């Protein structure tokens, strides 16, 4: 095997490994989001409780959401890349790509809520709340990791 082939194989294996680890972390966060929902909204009325998914079920839910999210992003990216040049002004292609990514994220959020509603046995509005808690947990993780990276960059200078 030539050197470029081994680099590509290493990149693919590493990407799959990192994706699997990220999905496992997201499954833990999904369980936490369901726990937060149950803690905040079911004290007065236990009939609103969403059953806590076990780790395997949470991993399956997150994996399905990941596949749908990637499909939406790929479809919109392909639509933007194949748009004729005369429809997008010169210099605005990057803006159109960013708008497509924002639209895909919004669509992905509502689709994720639908998957949560279908697989967590919950009503859609309750699944929307679980998705909000899930997003807040992910945002908090990104802020903590981003802050740590900034601090380490400042310290290492």
Give the model confidence (pLDDT) of 11-69 as tens digits. 888 889 999 999 999 999 999 999 999 999 988 888 889 999 999 999 999 999 999 99
Distance CA 44, CA 1 (A): 64
The answer for residues whose C-beta is within 8 angstroms of residue 73's C-beta and 6 or more apart is: 101, 104, 108
Q: pTM of the prediction?
A: 0.83
Report the alpha-carbon distance of residue 10 to residue 63 in Å, rounded: 23
97-126 tens-digit pLDDT = 888 889 988 998 999 999 999 999 889 999
């Amino acid at each position: 095997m030539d050197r470029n082939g081994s680099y590509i194989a290493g990149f693919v294996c590493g990407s799959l490994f990192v994706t699997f680890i990220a999905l496992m972390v997201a499954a833990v966060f999904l369980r936490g989001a369901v726990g937060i929902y149950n803690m905040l909204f079911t004290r007065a009325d236990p009939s609103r409780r969403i059953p806590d998914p076990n780790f395997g079920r949470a991993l399956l839910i997150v994996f399905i959401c990941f596949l749908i999210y990637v499909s939406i992003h790929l479809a919109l990216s392909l639509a933007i890349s194949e748009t004729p040049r005369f429809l997008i002004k010169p210099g605005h292609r990057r803006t159109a790509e960013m708008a497509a990514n924002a639209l895909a994220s919004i669509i992905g959020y509502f689709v994720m809520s639908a998957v949560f509603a279908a697989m967590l046995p919950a009503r859609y509005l309750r699944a929307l709340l679980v998705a909000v808690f899930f997003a807040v947990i992910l945002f908090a993780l990104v802020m903590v990791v981003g802050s740590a990276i900034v601090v380490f960059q400042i310290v290492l200078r």
